[in-house]
C-alpha cells in the first residue's frame, strides 16, 4: 500500500507552524505517513498562488492525501482514525 501523504501548509515566521510540524514529524514514523511541507508564500512567489489564496488566512493547514484535514492544530485523534480507516480500506 502506498503511504498516506500528509502535507503541512506553512509560511515563514509562523511559530504555530513549527509546533505543528514537530508534532506531525513525531507521528510520521509511528503512523506510517510521508510528511512534506509547502510554504504558501514561496509557492506564490514561484507562480502558484492558489494555496495561499485558499488557505493563507488559516495556516498551518494539514492536508491528508491532498484534502484539508485540519488547520491551526493537529486533530490527532481524527488523524489516527482516518489513517487507520485508510489502511483498512474503509
- The percentage of residues in the chain with a pLDDT greater than 70, rounded to a whole number, is 98
**pLDDT tens digits for range 15-56:** 999 999 999 999 999 999 999 999 999 999 999 999 999 999
Better-scored residue on pLDDT, 58 or 88: 58
CA distance from start to end of the chain: 14
Q: Which three cell numbers stand for residue 43?
A: 509557492
pLDDT at 89: 64
Indicate the DSSP class of residue 47: T
Rounded to two decimals, the pTM is 0.93
Task: Answer whether CATH 3.40.30.10 is correct for domain 5-85.
Answer: yes
Instruction: Tell me what the mean pLDDT of segment 62-71 comes to.
Output: 97
Q: Can you tell me the distance from the alpha carbon of 28 to that of 73, in angstroms, rounded to the nearest whole number?
A: 15
- What lies within 8 Å, CB to CB, of 67 at 6+ separation is none
Residue 60 preceded by cis peptide, ω within 30: yes
pLDDT band at 84 (very low <50, low <70, confident <90, very high): very high
Amino acid at each position: 500500500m502506498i503511504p498516506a501523504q500528509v502535507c503541512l501548509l506553512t509560511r515563514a515566521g509562523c511559530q504555530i507552524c513549527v509546533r505543528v510540524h514537530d508534532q506531525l514529524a513525531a507521528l510520521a514514523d509511528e503512523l506510517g505517513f510521508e510528511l512534506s511541507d509547502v510554504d504558501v508564500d514561496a509557492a506564490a512567489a514561484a507562480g502558484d498562488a492558489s494555496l495561499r489564496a485558499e488557505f493563507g488566512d488559516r495556516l498551518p493547514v494539514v492536508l491528508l492525501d491532498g484534502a484539508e484535514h485540519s488547520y491551526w492544530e493537529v486533530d490527532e485523534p481524527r488523524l489516527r482514525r482516518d489513517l487507520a480507516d485508510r489502511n483498512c480500506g474503509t
